[in-house]
Structure 1
Amino acid sequence: MNQLTKQSSDSEIKAYFNAVLKLTKSSEQFPVNLEEVWPLVYSEKGKAVRSLQDNFIENEDYKVFAQNGKNSNGGRPINEYRLSVSCLEYFIVRKVRPVFEVYRKVFHKTTSFQLNPTDPSIVKAKIMVAKFAMNTLNMNDSSKLLLVKSIGDPLGLPLPNYTESVDQLLSPTELLSRMGNPISTREFNQKMIAAGLLEVKERPSSSGKTKTFKSLTKEGMKYGENQVNPSNPKETQPLYYVGMFEKLFDMVTMNRQIV
């Protein structure tokens, strides 16, 4: 099959996924050649291989086939990496929104083939993504629970429906409004960043660009929690404990020592 790139059209991507679907129906466990899909996300094949090896399990999510003979570019023979469908989805497809939309139309809406949410390889991939999100986004317990339930509910695992919080959580905009808006939310965020309590994180957008969002640091989480943004689960939004906000406000606006 032809190699896909960021310049590939929707029809080319759809044709490729349909070919993969046919191989899957014939019980092919690793129907995807990494060589054909890595340019959709990565700038170099080496980066794709390292990410694959670091985040997925060989012989379960992907398989390496040693190629005999010489490399056409000289040097040692190049290994061939074959991916499972679930690995393709979480390793490549979900990182590029337009590609995922095409993938979803081929796989998720095909009545004769549906990914089983209880399949061990899919569960492992979801757990890996969940761990990455929890560690990277500094989620609060409620957001972590929602993520865990999305994995555990299809498996019938008993999980609680809520978590306890230290105090009521509200946005800085609402809390500043209750104080009479002494400064804007933007100014407050800048002071929080300067104090090392808030940081700016990045995520790729569906258009291939980079978007930023704010997240409380470990020190900042003494005064609030990072909740998954309802508008975008790839982001968190900082919420603050009502009972501690005025104290926090005084500290960051008067440059007092953070305690």
Structure 2
Amino acid sequence: MSKPVIIENTVVRQDAFGRYCLNDLHRAAVAQGKATEAQRPSKFLRGEGIDAFVQSLSEAQKRASVNTIRGGLESGTWADELVAIRYAAWIEPAFEVQVYEQFRDTIKNANGMLTEQVQAGLAMLAFYKQEMRIAPSTMPGAMKKLQSSLGMPDILPAYAADTPDGCMTGSSEVTHSLTELLSLHGKPYSAISAFRRLQLLGITERKSRPSSKAPDKEKLFWSLTEKGLQFGKNLTAPDNPRQTQPHFYDLHFPRLLALMLNGAAS
């Protein structure tokens, strides 16, 4: 949320479309002795040329540039920035300058805050990807959440390819969990014993995160190492995005089994 516009200790409210409350501007001007009680927004909107200006602006933006609400907490006249500045000029030129500068400073501050938030978010995602070796397919979802939290438009693709080194298909390989693949291949390993074997081979590693139920305790989970990424990918766990859930490429699982059984790839 952007920093509120405050003029002469009067907060100029905005609605969901970013339109400013002209009644708040009027109160701020009256408090400074720059406007009379008669210079209300309703009188301004009846002025010569204002209706045509408002209509042209509404058509250009494909939405109402002025909205008047009667009754309730949001009662008043709400207008886009251009209309608000024109209203300030109608009240008094010096007030127009004051309002314009306040709008400009507020936007500048908001842009600065947004830049800091974007940088912090990207740094967090970079750390997340590096430390947890998250698969590319999970990153668009994380970026979309970052965009949404910052109120930014969604410009990212919904899909990214995950492929092992040397893959020439250009698309994601089919993967399954270790439990599913062990069952499919009928090998005498439980999932936990298989993970421990892969840990000895440097393919998986044990990581931890604070427990959501008991912050003073740790929750352990498995993650593929850099070496292990040739055999699979790290997905974010569905029950907690702060931990990984290894999935293994179906096509490369026979080679991985040979490595587990013999200590060397066949």
**In structure 2, how many angstroms separate the alpha carbons of the residues matched to 1:210 and 1:142?**
27
Q: CA RMSD in A?
A: 2.6
Whether the 8 Å contact between 1:172 and 1:239 is mirrored in structure 2 is yes
Unpaired runs of 5+ residues, structure 1, are 1-23, 28-115
TM-score (normalizing by structure 2): 0.50
Counterpart residue number, 2:259: 251
- 2:177 is the alignment partner of 1:180: no
Aligned-residue offset at 1:25: 8.3
C-alpha contact (below 8 Å) 1:200/1:213 kept by paired residues = yes
Which of 194, 199, 210 matches 1:193? 199
Question: What TM-score do the two structures reach when normalised by structure 1?
Answer: 0.52
Which residue number in structure 1 is paired with residue 219 of structure 2?
211
CA contact under 8 A between 1:223 and 1:244: conserved in structure 2?
Answer: yes
Distance 2:247 2:198 in 1: 13
Q: Which amino acid aligns with 1:193?
A: Q
1:123 Cα deviation from its structure 2 partner = 2.5
User: 1:245: how far off?
Assistant: 0.5
Aligned residue among 235, 241, 251 for 2:243: 235
Aligned length, in residue pairs: 147
Whichever of the two has the greater Rg, that structure is 2
Superimposed CA distance per residue, residues 53-75 of structure 1 (whole angstroms, 9 cap, x where no aligned partner):
xxxxxxxxxxxxxxxxxxxxxxx
- Cα offset for 1:129? 1.7
* 8 Å Cα contact 2:135-2:162 kept in structure 1: no
Aligned-partner Cα distance in 2 for 1:246–1:132: 32
Instruction: Map residues 1-259 of structure 1 onto 2, 5 A cutoff.
Output: 119-153=114-148, 154-166=151-163, 167-206=173-212, 207-208=214-215, 209-256=217-264, 258=265
Q: Which runs of 5+ in 2 are unaligned?
A: 7-109, 164-172
| Cα distance between partner residues in 2 of 1:234 and 1:26 | 37
Percent sequence identity is 29
Name the SS for the 1:160 alignment partner.
Answer: coil
Q: Return the letter of the residue paired with 1:122.
A: Q
SS in 1 for 2:251: helix
